[in-house]
Chains A and B, each alone.
Chain A
Amino acid sequence: MSALSLRRPTRRAQAGKAVAVALLLVFTLFPAYWMLVSAFDAKAGLQTSFVPAEPTLDHFRFVLTEGGFDVFLRNSAIVALATVLVSALLALLASVAVARFRFRFRTQILLMVLVVQMVPLEALVIPLFVQVRNLQLLETLLGLVIVYVALALPFGIWMLRGFVAAVPVELEEAAYIDGASWGRMFRSVLLPLVAPGLVATSIFSFITAWNEFLFAMTLLGGATEHYTVAIGLRSFFGQFSNQWGAIMAASTIITVPVMIFFIMVQRKLAAGLTSGAVKG
């Protein structure tokens, strides 16, 4: 029985629901479907058909061998992994502080974390461009990682703090009674229990770094050899014609792993979002 309507549904209502679900699925999946069809169709860009007219892997072969996309993938992997490692560590430490301790300015710090999440990246891009330039890190992956850590951090703190707060204090106290130091308690009690939240947060910051476009474009400038996937895609756009088959194949390579991650962590993600947004 459904959650909202309490009467036994009529046959007409059932049919209406089926149509609604079908339309929803078409709308939701069509872009991904069209991306795949174009990526696997030898004639992509010449004609459009709803199934690949001439199925082929040529577009994938092209982007990975001649298109330089393998380099972009490596760059993105390096940047995203470095971002995850550093931001997860910093966010974990900070979230333990705000979830487990009462101290002066705690509320103010939480408010600041909340507010910096709302700052539009367009406002930060000009000063950060100048700052990264002054550090002589323009057109380097390190410069990008530093910025991404900052972008991923507020959300990480906000999300992890809900998970840390959910660990019963009694478990911690039991560890102290058994003679454990704070550091020992952190490693043996807190860390294992927060691990699922840490995984969800890490995946989220991985995706942030993987997808980010504005800073990658601005900070990497003309250093094509350091391009990440999000901006590397643009190399398949020609002055007169676009290589749509290659663009869609590369888009597929970027998108599919993210989709798999999302579907894997969907429960945790929704829980973290709502608990972080409303309470925690």
Chain B
Amino acid sequence: MASTLQAPERGGGTTSSPRSGGGPGRSWVARTRPWLLLAPGLLVLAVLMLWPLVRVVLFSLQDYGLREIVSGEPNWIGLGNYTEVLTSSQLWAVVLPNTVGFAVIAVTATVAFGTAVAVLLASLGTVWRTIVSSCIMAAWAMPAVTGTYVWVWIFDADRGVFNHVLQALGLQDAPVNWFTDRWSFYAIVLLNIVHHGFPFVAVTVLAALLGVPRELLEAAEMDGAGPWRRFFSIIVPQLRQVFAVVVIMSTIWDFKVFAQVFLMPGGAGTNREVLNLGVWSYVESFGQNRYGFGSAIAVLLTVMLLVVTAVYVRTILKEDEL
């Protein structure tokens, strides 16, 4: 199954099993060599990823503000920050729906649209497939920052092309500020995220689609299965693992949407209706200098993502050992 997804470079299933030694013989050098090779990278990851992760948990248990940063004196308050986060109406009414609700909708939309595009691409001839996939790559390549600014410009209240066209068509009398309302704000974020995220899904699913054995499809068609039936009964089961990967990767990305919200009008904290977990954590930390409280929010976000990651790791490990 996984063979449909292999890089073309790794021809003929050469899962060249890693060996115990580097060179001939099993000298001390050969045994320590992997560790020598790993040391610099592991050191960087430990100091800049793992230690900060530990520290964010430690910060979340403190009243950590500017004073504590400067003095370096910890000010432990136990679970106080967590109590405040979890009892805040802001969390349940605004931030969590904005984060989780948005992620669910965005993942569904991205995966459904990406898959539809993959099916379309698979049905095209080689030339058009190359042309269209190159264009799709352009959408993927647009950096989050510039992509977001373009969408902001398109929906700009006074001079945006969207309002302009609506007015020209007579659908609306005066320009509307689409960024003040929570729903239309997130509709624009959704458009931005789907536009930026569907190419990954399309390219990955396409690679897998092209690997589905034709015999299966032909046999199903002989048996009288229509296109929808063929898609859901043959292709979807064949692509189960690929779908698991794209769904989980998209989930992880869509949970921690930051720049796409932060850079929109009101998204940097002035409009508290549109806060999500990531922006809320940032605003509390760097806007209010409440680093402990912001850390507690960040820990909450991390725990939610680690649960998703655990599912991801399990899905992969089921098929293949690392």
Interface residues of A (CB under 8 A from B): 2-7, 17, 20-21, 24-25, 27-29, 31-32, 34-35, 38, 45-48, 90-91, 93-94, 96-103, 106-107, 109-116, 118-131, 133, 146-147, 149-150, 153-154, 157, 162-163, 165-169, 176, 181-182, 185, 196-197, 207, 210-211, 213-214, 218, 230-231, 233, 244, 247-248, 251, 254-255, 258-259, 261-263, 266-267, 270-275, 277-279
Q: A2-B122, A101-B37 are in contact. List 8 more A-B contacts (CB 8 A).
A: A98-B18, A111-B313, A122-B256, A124-B48, A263-B134, A263-B141, A277-B5, A279-B2
Interface residue B85 (Cβ < 8 Å from any Cβ of A): no
- Inter-chain contact B306/A115, CB cutoff 8 Å: yes
Assuming the A-B contacts A21-B128, A91-B41, A153-B41, are A35 and B301 also in contact, with contact meaning beta carbons closer than 8 angstroms in the complex? no
Residues of A contacting B241 in the complex (Cβ-Cβ under 8 angstroms) = 278
| 24 pairs of residues in contact across A and B, judged by CB atoms under 8 Å | A5-B227, A17-B120, A21-B128, A24-B132, A25-B132, A31-B150, A48-B159, A48-B161, A101-B22, A102-B17, A121-B258, A126-B281, A131-B48, A153-B44, A165-B14, A168-B14, A185-B23, A207-B143, A213-B145, A230-B143, A251-B146, A254-B143, A275-B10, A277-B245
Chain B's nearest CB lies how many Å from the CB of A40?
A: 14
A259-B8 Cα distance, complex, nearest whole Å: 23
Chain B's nearest CB lies how many Å from the CB of A177?
A: 9
Total A-B contacts with CB atoms under 8 angstroms apart = 355
**In this complex, what residue of A is CB-closest to B161?**
A48
- Inter-chain contact A35/B137, CB cutoff 8 Å: no
A48-B322 Cα distance, complex, nearest whole Å: 54
A34-B133 Cα distance, complex, nearest whole Å: 20
- Inter-chain contact B302/A146, CB cutoff 8 Å: no
**In this complex, what residue of B is CB-closest to A2?**
B123
Assuming the A-B contacts A48-B161, A118-B308, A279-B5, are A262 and B209 also in contact, with contact meaning beta carbons closer than 8 angstroms in the complex? no
- Inter-chain contact B34/A101, CB cutoff 8 Å: yes
Residues of B contacting A169 in the complex (Cβ-Cβ under 8 angstroms) = 16, 19
Chain B's nearest CB lies how many Å from the CB of A224?
A: 17
Chain B's nearest CB lies how many Å from the CB of A8?
A: 13
Chain A's nearest CB lies how many Å from the CB of B301?
A: 5
A98-B45 Cα distance, complex, nearest whole Å: 15
- Inter-chain contact B52/A131, CB cutoff 8 Å: yes
Q: Which of A28, A96, A122, A185 contacts B298 (CB 8 A)?
A: A122
Assuming the A-B contacts A127-B52, A262-B141, are A213 and B259 also in contact, with contact meaning beta carbons closer than 8 angstroms in the complex? yes
A88-B159 Cα distance, complex, nearest whole Å: 44
Q: Which of A21, A119, A267, A273 contacts B302 (CB 8 A)?
A: A119
- Inter-chain contact A254/B19, CB cutoff 8 Å: no
A258-B227 Cα distance, complex, nearest whole Å: 38
Residues of A contacting B263 in the complex (Cβ-Cβ under 8 angstroms) = 213
- Inter-chain contact A263/B286, CB cutoff 8 Å: no
- Inter-chain contact A127/B10, CB cutoff 8 Å: no
Chain B's nearest CB lies how many Å from the CB of A37?
A: 9
- Which of the four size classes fits the interface of chain B? 35 or more
**In this complex, what residue of B is CB-closest to A25?**
B135
Q: Which of B19, B138, B249 contacts A262 (CB 8 A)?
A: B138
Assuming the A-B contacts A48-B160, A272-B7, A278-B316, are A29 and B138 also in contact, with contact meaning beta carbons closer than 8 angstroms in the complex? yes
Residues of A contacting B161 in the complex (Cβ-Cβ under 8 angstroms) = 34, 48
Assuming the A-B contacts A120-B256, A230-B145, are A275 and B7 also in contact, with contact meaning beta carbons closer than 8 angstroms in the complex? yes
Q: Which of A24, A247, A275 contacts B5 (CB 8 A)?
A: A275
Residues of A contacting B301 in the complex (Cβ-Cβ under 8 angstroms) = 120, 122-123
A166-B18 Cα distance, complex, nearest whole Å: 11
- Inter-chain contact B6/A90, CB cutoff 8 Å: no
Assuming the A-B contacts A21-B128, A163-B9, A255-B146, are A101 and B141 also in contact, with contact meaning beta carbons closer than 8 angstroms in the complex? no
- Inter-chain contact A271/B7, CB cutoff 8 Å: yes
Q: Which of B37, B120, B122, B143 contacts A93 (CB 8 A)?
A: B37
A168-B50 Cα distance, complex, nearest whole Å: 34
A102-B21 Cα distance, complex, nearest whole Å: 8
Q: Which of A3, A110, A118, A259 contacts B137 (CB 8 A)?
A: A259
Chain A's nearest CB lies how many Å from the CB of B258?
A: 6
- Inter-chain contact A218/B286, CB cutoff 8 Å: yes
Chain B's nearest CB lies how many Å from the CB of A76?
A: 11
A251-B147 Cα distance, complex, nearest whole Å: 8
Q: Which of A99, A112, A120 contacts B305 (CB 8 A)?
A: A120
A279-B4 Cα distance, complex, nearest whole Å: 11
Residues of A contacting B20 in the complex (Cβ-Cβ under 8 angstroms) = 101-103
Q: Which of B6, B235, B322 contacts A107 (CB 8 A)?
A: B322
Interface residue B250 (Cβ < 8 Å from any Cβ of A): no
